[in-house]
Structure 1
Amino acid sequence: MTTTTDIDFAAREALRLLGPDPENWVFDQPGIDHNVTIVVGSGSGSTFAFALRRAGIGGVTVIDEAEDEAHAGVWLTRARMKKLRTPKNLPGPELGIPALSFQAWYEARHGAEAYAAIDRIPRVLWAEYLSWYRHFLNIPVRYQTKLIRIEPDVGFLRLHLEVNGVRQVETTRKIIFANGVAGTGGANIPPVLASLPRQLYAHTSELINFSELRGKTVAVLGAAASAFDAAGVALESGAKAVHLFARRSQIASLPVIRVRGYPGAYYNYAQLPDAARWFQAWRFNQVGSTPPPDAIARVTAFSHFHLHLSATWKSAHNQGDRIVAQVNDDVLEFDFAIAGTGYFVDPTKRPELADFAHHIALWRDRYEPPADQRSEQLSTYPYLGSAHEYQEKVPGTAPYLKDIHVFNPAGFVSFGLPIGDVPSIRRDVPAIVELISHDLFFADWSQHEARITSDNVAPDFESSLYADAVWKKPVKAVVS
């Protein structure tokens, strides 16, 4: 079996053969601190940093409000699945360099047979791989740096930050939001729970002290993967009983998104007519998000797990330190409730976008669906451009929006996949980097024109190299 040193050698050798990183070709601009700011140094954020470096784009900074690497991202904090939900062999952060892939990393540590034996990637090992990727590629992340507000200006964006608790302002030409499921909205808290005292419920996006649920009766609202994952951890942590409530009459089991993964649909999806993209998003909402079979098996292994189908909570109130809920015709009591009810997407609800959110084009501004396909939930998704950039609601009113790229689930209606997850990396990271390269080059075209027209370069050789070979017409001898 190879060793950790071997995989580092193999990856280093792959980068050597690829050639050195191009020099930064982007001209410095007075008063501009960064060319690109990446918000959140997760796996996606690190991937963008590497891709931009390979495109010769310097002046890139990665910011993350987490305290440190151990608390960053979701894999070691709020994610509770045992394995990733995507196939193990999907192209991801390696960006076409096999030696940087999870498979190469894993096989170096555990062998090819061990990799062949796993069906999906264990969550903790994925986090370990991403940490290796970040450190091996020397991608610095500025932790304890929170984006508070974006203030547009002419030719750049002013970032109001909180750095280690201190407010400061920096400037950037481009922003990439690689900030996860709540990045363009927030946690969806059902109103029936929102009226309860805050200590009696939590959303799956929050850190939950499951040890405090030992011996308690827990309700979980929702029937997608995160709900089953939370129920599983509660049961494994010693909960007395866990009741999971699903609105539908059965758990969604048809993975409608998966059939979009073939190259034709994958690469051309964004060019579909609006009506087709809307229908596919609407259809997914109608069918529902499917939890993996192992997430269901994880909870059904416990006799004190109880599944309630067609069970929408009608009302809930607190009675002392307990929750009293009416579900259909039943009245049930719980010590704690967990909302596995997903997230909403709405740029107008994000404080950092407050200065200009009203200018951002949403799907409701671009497309009117048939009456039987209307969805308030989908209507507030941003209508994104080909490289995930915001679009203007009214052309000419907010040209700076094209400089903000959204690589999070807010791109679902526009691009047809859970954006920010592994399946979207191969297609969308290069597309975003390509447009950023285009915009930065043409914004500075006068300087580039001068550069590429300049003769200010040392000659490859002097004329003396060929002087002796220059043909000279023979001189005819003079006959006396």
Structure 2
Amino acid sequence: MSLDTLASSTQIKGLAALELRLAEDLSLLELPAREWVMSRTHDGQDVLEVAVIGGGMAGLAASAALKLLGVRACIFDRSPQGLEGPWATTARMETLRSPKQLTGPALGLPALTFRAWFEAQFGADEWQALDKIDRLQWMAYLVWYRRVLALDVRNEHSIEAVTPRADGLVMLSVRTQEQRFNVFARRVVLATGRDGLGGPALPGFIDGLPRARWAHSSDTLDFSTLANKRVAVVGGGSSAMDGAATALEAGAKSVDLLIRRNDLPRVNKGKGAGNPGLTHGHQTLPDEWKWKIRHYINTVQVPPPRGSTLRVSRHHPKVRFNLGCPVLSVENTDDGLAIHTPKGTFAADFLIVSTGFKVDWSARPEFAAFAPFIRTWADRYAPPSGDEDAELSDSPDVGPAFEFLEKTPGDCPGLSNIHCFCYPATLSHGAVSGDIPAISTGAKRLAQGIAGSLYREDVEQHYAALEAYAEPELYGDEFTPADAPPQYAEDQ
């Protein structure tokens, strides 16, 4: 037996023991709860209790939290199995940015943590030696998470339309390689990621540029095509560093980072603010405090990780960090791109814009049936002068279970049966609907809210079931009724 085969065998045995431990923990906790939601049909078709759109980390955590409460959830994901979310596709960092000890989607179960999964295969010493979690190893962990919890995921199922109905159901128009069909669900969860309600925030200067000469950092891109080319990267955040490093590692002739700020931010304020008080208390804060906290974090911005930045700078002198260098305009020329900035004109063959994401309903035609009716924070709150923030204003104003709310009550019946469990819910709920640190808190909050609302809808049926419940605790042979005491018998 080769050393590689022996190592693989040891890892399998370690995982098998961990899975037995997890099964025992779930048994001790009486989880998952027995299924209890009243079944429904529509035109002879079974109605799903919950449909989750997106099989990445948030979708898996939401589905798992619902399953533990006895609610069946079905996940639809357009990607092939193992390619859900960004980890194995558009993400280009070497490691995760989050500290390795964060428990992520484990839902309070120690045996479900990444650490338990890692140590089962590689041992405690390797865990102690680990700095950050490898990106593809995180994807492998999520694949295991899905398998060990037996979550219902339908891969290569694209959702073409989500239509809330006045009868309380939501219709999903589904497309696979073979067919198109409709399914109906009582609740729909949008676990659609960072750009979950829109797409890239594209700067105006890319208008009119040939698509072959630029890409957004979230695009699928074959970086080998950038070998021996001059590359410019707009931005100074994490995705900018990841794109620049990947281009350099693919053999780019040079990379110019064009960074608007005069200096890179040095402190991750969001990390410093993270604590259970904020995690559990943000959603109950007054509007002005919610806005103030999120706007401050947006304004000071998050620095790129040290490791990601060093990954770029080690390619000096092929890379240049151009600070205080916002892009004013870009021209397409016979020799490539002429990028005009206050510090002069940069020549490049290819441009990568790392400019983040925005809520943009036009980029999500599958949500067209309900998007115009959603209440946003612009409808709810007017910030003080000078604190305007387009990202926050465009964010949906969602309810306690992440449900969308109507801008005008009555205009879109059934809208509240669609739940926003992705990044744009952050202003309403805090950072619990997409990022690793508090994803379990968010998933539990979502699942508890959905479970409660499903029970309320069916309370008459549950009460009828309560009345009809007839499993005896006593059979009548456990005791003998006493005769009446003599003093009472005389009075009769």
Shorter-chain TM-score: what band? Answer: over 0.9
Asked if 1 retains the 8 angstrom alpha-carbon contact of 2:432 and 2:440, the reply is no
Q: Equivalents in 2 of 1:289, 1:37: separation in Å? A: 33
> Is residue 261 of structure 2 the alignment partner of residue 248 of structure 1?
yes
- Mapping of residues 84-103 of structure 1, within 5 Å: 84-103=96-115
Of 120, 123, 128 in structure 2, the residue corresponding to residue 116 of structure 1 is 128
- Equivalent position amino acid for 1:108 in 2: A
Q: 1:410 to 1:473 in 2, by over 3 A?
A: closer
1:21 aligns with 2:32: yes
Q: Which residue of 2 aligns with 1:351?
A: 365
Identify which range, 165-174 or 417-426, moves more after superposition: 417-426
- 1:40 matched to 2:51? The reply is no
Partner of 1:212: 225
Alpha-carbon contact 2:405-2:416 (below 8 Å) kept: yes
CA distance in 2, matches of 1:22, 1:294: 43
Partner letter of residue 115 of structure 2?
A: Q
CA distance in 1, matches of 2:455, 2:69: 12
* CA-CA distance at 1:17 after TM superposition: 2.4
Measure, in 1, the Cα distance between the counterparts of 2:48 and 2:181: 14
Deviations 1:413-441 (A, max 9, x none): 22332731112313211111111011100
Summarize the alignment of residues 10-159 of structure 1 with structure 2, pairs less than 5 Å apart.
10-31=21-42, 33-58=47-72, 60-66=73-79, 68-153=80-165, 154-159=167-172
Is 2:374 aligned against 1:363? no
Q: What whole-Å deviation, never above 9, does each CA across 1:284-334 have from its counterpart, x for those lacking one?
A: 222122111111111000111111111111111222362121122522211
Residues 391-410 of structure 1, C-alpha deviation per residue, up to 9 Å, x if partnerless?
11123333422211111110
CA contact (8 A) 2:359 2:395 kept: yes
The question of 1:284 aligning with 2:297 is answered: yes
Partner letter of residue 386 of structure 1? Answer: P
Letter in 1 for 2:56: S
Asked if 2 retains the 8 angstrom alpha-carbon contact of 1:257 and 1:417, the reply is no
Q: CA deviation at 1:178?
A: 1.0
1:186 Cα offset (Å): 0.4
Report deviation, 1:230: 0.8
5+ long unaligned stretches in structure 1: 476-480
Counterparts of 2:375 and 2:313 in 1: how far apart (Å)?
44
**C-alpha distance 241-165 of structure 1, shift in aligned 2 (>3 A):** farther
Distance in 1 (CA, whole Å) between partners of 2:358 and 2:344 is 29
Residue identity over aligned pairs, in percent, reads: 33
**TM-score when scaled to structure 2?**
0.91
Residue 448 of structure 2: aligned partner: 434
- Please give the secondary structure, in 1, of the residue aligned with 2:437: helix
2:465 to 441, 451, 461: 451
Instruction: Report deviation, 1:473.
Output: 6.7
TM-score (norm 1): 0.93
Tell me the residue number matched to 1:164: 177
Q: Which amino acid aligns with 1:245?
A: L
Does structure 1 retain, via aligned residues, the 8 Å contact 2:103–2:114? no
* Alignment counterpart, residue 312 of structure 1, candidates 326, 330, 341: 326
1:235 is matched with which residue: 237, 243, 248?
A: 248
C-alpha deviations, 1:75-127, integer Å up to 9, x for none? 11111111111111222221111011111111111111211222322211111
Q: Distance in 1 between matches of 2:348 and 2:432?
A: 33
CA contact (8 A) 1:174 1:404 kept: yes
The number of residue pairs the alignment matches comes to 470
Structure 1 partner of 2:421: 407
Take 2:433 and 2:405, find their aligned partners in 1: how far apart are those partners?
A: 17
Q: 1:167 to 1:321 in 2, by over 3 A?
A: farther
Cα distance in structure 2, aligned partners of 1:3 and 1:446: 48
> Is contact 2:259-2:324 (8 Å) kept?
yes
Q: 1:418 to 1:222 in 2, by over 3 A?
A: farther
Does structure 2 retain, via aligned residues, the 8 Å contact 1:325–1:332? yes
Q: 2:336 aligned with 1:325, yes or no?
A: no
405-414 or 12-21: which moved more?
A: 12-21
CA RMSD of aligned residues (A): 1.9
SS of the equivalent of 1:307 reads: strand
Pick from 200, 208, 232: which aligns with 1:187? 200
- SS of equivalent to 1:355: coil
The answer as to whether partners of 2:168 and 2:417 remain within 8 angstroms in 1 is: no
Asked if the contact 1:280–1:416 (Cα under 8 Å) also holds between the matched residues in 2, the reply is: no
Match of 1:5 in 2: 16
Classify 1:380/1:150 alpha carbon distance in 2 versus 1 (closer, same or farther; 3 Å).
same
Structure 2 unmatched runs, 5+: 1-9, 487-492
Give the whole-Å Cα distance in 2 for the aligned partners of 1:64 and 1:97.
25
- Structure 1 runs of 4+ aligned residues shifted over 3 Å read 346-349, 469-475
Q: Please say if residues 221 and 339 of structure 1, whose CA atoms lie closer than 8 Å, have aligned partners that are also in contact.
A: yes
| Matched letter for residue 169 of structure 1 | N
The CA deviation at 1:349 is 4.6
Residue of structure 2 in register with 1:335 after alignment: 349
- 156-165 or 307-316, which deviates more: 156-165
- Give the Cα separation in 1 of the matches to 2:308 and 2:342: 26
1:294 aligns with 2:307: yes
- Contact 1:65 1:145 (8 Å CA) reproduced: yes
In structure 2, do the counterparts of structure 1 residues 336 and 454 end up closer, same or farther at CA, with 3 Å as the change threshold? same
Counterpart residue identity of residue 204, structure 2: P
Q: 1:176 matched to which residue of 2?
A: 189
Q: 2 CA distance for matches of 1:459 and 1:412?
A: 49
Mapped partners of 1:316, 1:161: distance in 2: 40
In the TM superposition, residue 16 of structure 1 has moved relative to its aligned partner by: 2.8
Describe the shift of the 1:441–1:294 C-alpha distance in structure 2 as closer, same or farther (beyond 3 A): same
